[in-house]
Structure 1
Amino acid sequence: MIKAWVFNLTRLVGEIVLSPFFRIHAHGLEHIPDQQGFILLVKHQRWEDIPVLGLAVSRPLYYVAKRELFENRIINWYLRSLGGVPLDRDKPLRTKQSFREIHEILQSGKGIVVFPEGTYYKDQMGPLRIGMLKFFLKRSDSPFIPVGIEYRQNGLKTDVDVRFGKPIWAKGCGSHEEFMNKVAKAIASLSGLYPLSEDSDESTGRYVSFIGGKGNNE
């Protein structure tokens, strides 16, 4: 459960720390539902992505993060107070309680953040982990919203464009692989990485990683 005072204080500190170095520009916020649960599928460029996203979206969000980050009791309390949800990325079924929690969050009309690459892939599109999203694909009718993040050096500051794409619905997308390829293309395009087209070789299975797959940056 998000604690409002922890969220508000952390957001204030984030603004103070990041504002001397970054100018954050949010685009497409109208694609985020007001009354329905949703899943943000976000490009992972660098460690600043999380606070940048938190400043781009004013409302609290719940973040799916690797289980190892929650092992320390104090860090666990802090992350949980900010909306962190622990998940075993390689063997998701080990954290069944987290899936129940995610389901309840979506049912209550709130937003979940997932970095589907699972690790940093700076200036390139990494393979997506279909294993960590199978729960959503099978059990949730919530919209998936691709989110691109692009960093551009501009003088002494870095401009950060956070772009929210149009919602993608799992139903009607065919197989899991076809759905993930569509998501990968959208994230890449929104991040300014690839102007992918439907007939491009880069739009195929290159971006899909199945259960147990690991990013090359881990």
Structure 2
Amino acid sequence: MSSKNIQKPHPGSSELARKALRWFGRLYGSLFYKTEVYGLENVPQTGKVLVLSKHQRNDDIPLGLSKALYHRRMDIWAIMKDSLAAPIFMDYFLKCGGIPLNRKEPRKSKNDLLFAKKVLNEGNMLVIFPEQTTIPYKMGKGRPGGFRFIVGKPEEPLAVLCLGLEYKPRGFLRRTSFIVRAGKLRHFEPDMDHEDFLHDCMHEIASLTNLKYPFEQGKKTNDPNGDLELLETIS
């Protein structure tokens, strides 16, 4: 195997890196955003929890963590775009709990998705974005592949939390309104269908973001964005 095909192992998280991200997010968020948070009491403070979040912009992770989720717990990991794992960042975003995903070639993220599944099963919180890319001010279609793989068939009900992130620009020199809404905790049971469950969650995420989810649930066939391929190459 050539060195180009050898995937670097995840360095693990760092409490110092997480605290630095929290500090930056609070400062940056206070300067440029007027934040409101609702439903924070729905966020479990311990135990494994899968968070399904709306993805509007690159600020979602630092703002969503520092202004909301970090107020409940710090053991949070999040799927992120693989460009943030580039050498120039010196593993910083990885040490904050970021787990890179190559959206164009999912097979290259095999070890990272296995790692995401591992940290979730160890009792941590894991944040994923079912749309798999930033889609501002409207809903994208939920992609079930990564969700299906990470969840699998749990031995016990898995706690799942839907998170809405709403941005409302308020004009020149005024801070953008940023509203975080956490839904009621729901559970994925071992006998549930992944696509049915995710479809319901996408409607909830849309509602929590003050949007509409325009997609009907289609037939369970090959996903054009490679979800099925992702599962087959990882399994």
Q: How does 1:118-157 map to 2 (within 5 A)?
A: 118-140=132-154, 141-154=157-170, 156-157=174-175
Say if 1:179 and 1:132 are closer, same or farther in 2 by CA, change over 3 A: same
**Which position in structure 1 is the counterpart of 2:211?**
193
Candidates 15, 20, 27, aligned match of 1:9: 20
**What is the TM-score with the length of structure 1 in the denominator?**
0.82
Q: Which moved more, 1:12-21 or 1:42-51?
A: 12-21
Q: CA separation in 1, counterparts of 2:46 and 2:58?
A: 30
Aligned residue pair count: 206
Deviation, 1:35, is 2.5
Q: 1:180 aligns with which of 176, 194, 198?
A: 198
- How much has 1:100 moved relative to structure 2? 3.3
TM-score when normalising by structure 2: 0.76
Partner of 2:8 in structure 1?
none
Q: Does 1:204 align with 2:216?
A: yes
Equivalent position amino acid for 1:17 in 2: Y
Q: State the partner residue of 2:188.
A: 170
Q: Which amino acid aligns with 2:145?
A: G
Give distance in 1, aligned partners of 2:108 and 2:116: 14
Q: 2:51 aligns with which of 26, 36, 40?
A: 40
Distance 1:69 1:212 in 2: 25
* Matched ranges for 1:25-174 at <5 A: 25-55=36-66, 56-58=68-70, 59-60=73-74, 61-70=76-85, 72-75=86-89, 77-89=91-103, 92-140=106-154, 141-154=157-170, 156-171=174-189, 174=192
Task: Give the superposition deviation at 1:53.
Answer: 0.5
Q: Give the root-mean-square deviation of aligned CA atoms.
A: 2.6
AA partner of residue 49 (structure 1): D
What is the rounded CA distance, in whole Å, between the counterparts of 1:209 and 1:15 in structure 2?
Answer: 43
